[in-house]
Amino acid sequence: MKKLLASAIALMTVGFTYAQGNVDYTTQTGVLNDVSTHQTGELNWNKLTQSGDSNAATITQTGKRNRDEALSDGKHNVIDILQVGKDNNSWTAQYGDRNKVSLDQDGDFNSAVAYQQGNDNKIANATMPLLQRGDHNTADHRQYGDNNEVQNSQRGNWNTAIGLQFNDSQTIGQYQVGNGNYSNDTQSGYHNTAYNVQNGDGNYHLGVQAGINNVASVTQNN
């Protein structure tokens, strides 16, 4: 009986130490904000701040040494972060109403930045989050205005995707399959659309749109 009790205490101690390896800081100021945080890995770190009304966030960390920092300041904003792997970093900030960010990091040493200032902006789409599947990928997307959308998928290693949107109702789609690809799109105006597909290794794209109703579609294969 003593051995059984000692084993139970030891098991409880191990479980407590394991749980202590993860760190979460959550701050909510406002009405009807909702947060769901799941940390089932080791040494993960999360900081989430909600200021306003009816904001929702789901943070899931199932790997090791992942780091997430997220802020929603407004109403009806949504953040959905999934980190599966090791040493991934994500930073999200939303200022405004009804903005959405969905991020899936599945790999190691990936980095993602999502910044939204305005209303009804999306970084993700209805069926696919901002996806990083591989290692050492970097995504940086920033939206200043209303009704802008970014779709980004990185499958491979050492890929970089950058998107910058000023004004309203613009769309950027960046899809990278391979290694060492670079895609950078800047939009200033209204109703502009830019799509870049990179298949292979070492492709480079730089796109700038200023005005109204411009459309650019670029495909790179090697």
CB 197, CB 219: distance < 8 Å: yes
User: Would you state the pLDDT for residue 69?
Assistant: 98
Note down pLDDT in tens along the chain; length 222 residues.
444 333 333 333 233 334 559 999 999 999 999 999 999 989 999 999 999 999 999 999 999 999 999 999 999 999 999 999 999 999 999 999 999 999 999 999 999 999 999 999 999 866 678 999 999 999 999 999 999 999 999 999 999 999 999 999 999 999 999 999 999 999 999 999 999 999 999 999 999 999 999 999 999 999
Question: Residue 10, SS3?
Answer: helix
Q: How many Cβ atoms are within 10 Å of 58's Cβ, its own excluded?
A: 15
For 16-34, write each residue's pLDDT tens digit: 334 559 999 999 999 999 9
CB 95, CB 70: distance < 8 Å: no
Nearest one of 156, 152, 163 to 208, comparing CA atoms: 163
For 189-216, write each residue's pLDDT tens digit: 999 999 999 999 999 999 999 999 999 9
User: Would you state the pLDDT for residue 129?
Assistant: 85
Question: Residue 9, SS3?
Answer: helix
CB 112, CB 133: distance < 8 Å: no
User: Would you state the pLDDT for residue 128?
Assistant: 75
CA distance 28 to 12: 31
- pTM of the model as a whole: 0.89
Domain ranges of the chain: 24-221
CA distance 139 to 193: 19
CB 205, CB 198: distance < 8 Å: yes
Question: Residue 202, SS3?
Answer: coil
